[in-house]
């Protein structure tokens, strides 16, 4: 029988703990969706961005569009699916989506609120767990914005 080295033994002992941690990293989904008809405010932690946020460090611009709101909503859902999001709840003017990180399987919640009269879609992206997100939520919103614009252009057809 071969003697195990200390680092190998530690690795074998830590593996089940790491697997358990990864499985439990999904966190709980947020309870309230809209508060007084608006997306919920971000917490004080730097792991959330929102177009309806008052604090500059958590602000992002809403998604703007021209044309019918239905076309914008369709373009948004296509962009979300292309980026790997899973639609959890879809209503006429509200959309809740989850994104799961590849490595540790962390779940982030992204919400959208359509304001058809203003040709805007407000967005909120927040991590369920942890304090900081290293800019992941802001980058996700900007990537979705880019795909959204692209999808809207595809719907309009060539000029």
- Ordered by start, the domain boundaries in the chain are 39-154
Position 35 scores a pLDDT of 92
The pLDDT tens digits of the residues spanning 50-70 come to 999 999 999 999 999 999 999
Mean pLDDT of the chain: 86
pLDDT, average across residues 124-144: 95
* The pLDDT of residue 18: 42
The stretch 99-121 carries a mean pLDDT of 94
39-154: which CATH topology? Answer: TATA-Binding Protein (3.30.310)
The H or E element containing residue 144 is: helix 136-156
In three-state secondary structure terms, 159 is: coil
- Which pTM value belongs to this model? 0.80
pLDDT band at 26 (very low <50, low <70, confident <90, very high): very low
Determine contact, residues 42/30, Cβ cutoff 8 Å. Answer: no
Question: Which among 64, 79, 75 has a CA at the least distance from the CA of 119?
Answer: 64
CA 45 to chain centre: 16
User: Residue 6 has what pLDDT?
Assistant: 67
Location of structure tokens 């590849």: 102
Of the pLDDT bands very low, low, confident and very high (cuts 50, 70, 90), residue 11 is low
What confidence tier does 103 reach under pLDDT thresholds 50, 70, 90?
confident
Mean pLDDT of 128-141: 93
Higher pLDDT, residue 27 or 39? 39
């Amino acid at each position: 029988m071969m003697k195990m080295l200390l680092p190998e033994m530690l690795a074998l002992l830590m593996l089940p703990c790491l697997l358990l941690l990864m499985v439990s990293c999904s966190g709980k989904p947020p309870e309230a969706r809209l508060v007084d008809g608006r997306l919920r405010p971000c917490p004080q932690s730097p792991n959330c961005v929102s177009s309806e946020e008052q604090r500059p460090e958590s602000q992002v611009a809403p998604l703007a569009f021209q044309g019918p709101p239905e076309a914008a909503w369709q373009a948004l859902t296509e962009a979300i699916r292309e980026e790997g999001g899973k639609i959890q709840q879809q209503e006429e003017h509200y959309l809740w989506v989850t994104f799961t990180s590849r490595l540790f399987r962390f779940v982030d919640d992204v919400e959208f609120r359509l304001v058809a009269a203003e040709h805007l879609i407000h967005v909120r992206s927040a991590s369920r767990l942890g304090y900081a997100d290293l800019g992941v939520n802001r980058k996700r919103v900007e990537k979705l914005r880019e795909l959204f614009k692209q999808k809207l252009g595809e719907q309009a057809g060539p000029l």
